[in-house]
Amino acid sequence: MSIEVGSKLEGKVTGITNFGAFVELPSGSTGLVHISEVADNYVKDINDHLKVGDMVEVKVMNVGSDGKIGLSIRKAKPESEQRPQRPQRPTRPRQGSKPSFERPENFEQKMAKFMKDSEERLTTLKRATESKRGGRGARRGYLADCFNCKLKSDDILHVCSLLWSMRFFMRESGGES
């Protein structure tokens, strides 16, 4: 009788080790049931599940070229006895990932995205700065009264940030730096 992968056979446990159990098959050959293939749940001690001399139903998982036979007790059980599979979660797109059907952004889209990100960062920076200074103080008005400048320091920070960032966009777009 030849042993075919996928066939279910009745065998007798002839030996137990810490890594599995040896099962003698009807053809007289011996195969190994690895400890992970004994039961659906975690098996700490194989002796809790099997004893030498037990008759077990096994499924042939593989037959090596050297004659070694890999067996499974848990896969030999009928489908109704096996552990029910968990229902799969619906997949959601990851945050920040783009669907594959979108075209690459053009310069205007990149600039609009940058402006939005820049505005958010400046708002965060302003909040952090204001909390360290104790809120809006009297010296928070115009940048340099001595120069008669009418721009607030926030406006100058924003303009500097935009100019600096445009330099990087020009590099990425292939323009001059």
pLDDT tens digit sequence for 34-81: 999 999 889 899 999 999 999 999 999 999 888 899 999 999 887 655
CB-based contacts of 143: which residues, under 8 Å, 6+ apart?
Answer: 149, 151, 152, 153, 156
pTM: 0.45
- What are the distances in angstroms from CA 142 to CA 28, 75, 123, 154, 155? 96, 77, 18, 9, 10
Least confident of 13-22, 82-91, 101-110: 82-91
143 in Cβ contact with 156 (< 8 Å): yes
**Average pLDDT, whole number, for the chain?**
78
26 in Cβ contact with 60 (< 8 Å): no
Sign of CA dihedral 55, 61, 63, 66: negative
Supply the pLDDT for residue 133.
61
Cα separation, 141 vs 158, in Å, equals 16
| Rounded (10°) CA dihedral 51, 54, 56, 58 | 60
Cα separation, 142 vs 32, in Å, equals 83
Supply the pLDDT for residue 140.
47
Supply the pLDDT for residue 14.
95
How do residues 146-160 score in pLDDT, each as one tens digit?
Answer: 445 555 666 777 777
Question: Do the bridges between strand 69-72 and strand 30-34 make them parallel or antiparallel, or are there none, so unpaired?
Answer: parallel
Cα separation, 81 vs 30, in Å, equals 26
10 in Cβ contact with 57 (< 8 Å): yes
